[in-house]
Amino acid sequence: MMLKPHMHSPLMRPLTRLLLALGGLFALAGLIALAPATAAPPHHEAPAKGDAATSETADWNNRITLTPDGAHILGNPEAKLKLTEYMSYTCPHCAHFEGEGVATMRMTMIAQGKGSLEVRHLLRDPIDMAVALLTNCVPPQRFFALHDAFLMQQDHWLTPAYKMSQDQQKRWFDGPLPTRMRAVANDLHLYDFVANKGLRRTDADRCLTNEALARRIAAQTADASKLGIDSTPSFGINGVILAGTHDWATLKPQLDARL
């Protein structure tokens, strides 16, 4: 499987290359069976302070729900419009959507409880996995703050990757998962980036070496593949994948028609 060329970043490699580089850990065949039975987190809702999200005037941006397979939902989990985004942290189009679409939805349909946003991972490369490990290991209530920061500041933290030699990048693809993830974090100064967001280096290391969490993230990619999703960002509304929809300009009219 390869993400569509028109959605590639300069760092894109075939997804199958990534799966092989991860030492077979995330091979699509039997992927779910690789994860221990305890790997999937329980369904969890992080309530807003004072349970304010239960009132009509609540800002539902304070409500985060963790699905049984580890995806994060922002907003009212019972909203009539449930938007799912399949995204990658190394995808420039995902960063653009964060600035245009997510910012707008937070002020409108999400804040009002009319719509929710579920974030699911479609891995593109080892950098994507390293960042996903960092954002997914924090408590659910902190996920979107770190998630948003990585996307909104993508040009800052991802820039060093373009200057890396092939020998340097080889460390991201070869060897045990923990070693490769720490190499990515060191080379791209991700430890400093998350430290500025309140995640200490020792905690970041635990995130980057969490293979059960890596399996859960890879399983989201496998699930997206089964649905025929091969571009980032891609979207679904109420469980229906939207064809030819990869940016805010094409998504917004479809949201408006359902609200």
Whether 31 is covered by a domain: the verdict is no
Tell me, what's the pLDDT at 81? Answer: 98
Report yes or no on 99 lying in a domain. Answer: yes
Domain count, the chain: 1
Cα angle vertex 238, ends 235, 239, to 5°? 70
| DSSP annotation string for 49-109 | GGGGGGSTT--GGG-EEE-TTS-EEES-TT-SEEEEEEE-TT-HHHHHHIIIIIHHHIIII
**Residue 219, domain extent:** 69-256
Determine, yes or no, domain membership for 176: yes
Secondary structure letter of residue 175 according to DSSP: S
Alpha helix stretches (DSSP H) within the chain: 15-21, 31-34, 92-97, 103-105, 126-136, 140-152, 154-158, 166-173, 177-187, 190-195, 201-208, 211-226, 248-256
Predicted TM-score of the model (pTM) = 0.82
CATH number at residue 202: 1.10.40.110
Per-residue pLDDT of the chain (259 residues; tens, 9 = 90+): 334 433 444 444 433 344 344 433 433 333 333 333 333 343 444 544 444 444 444 689 999 999 999 999 999 999 999 999 999 999 999 999 999 999 999 999 999 999 999 999 999 999 999 999 999 999 999 999 999 999 999 999 999 998 888 888 889 988 899 999 999 999 999 999 999 999 999 999 999 999 999 999 999 999 999 999 999 999 999 999 999 999 999 999 999 999 9
* Residue 48 falls inside a structural domain: no
| Residues composing the chain | 259
What is the pLDDT, as a whole number, of residue 58?
67
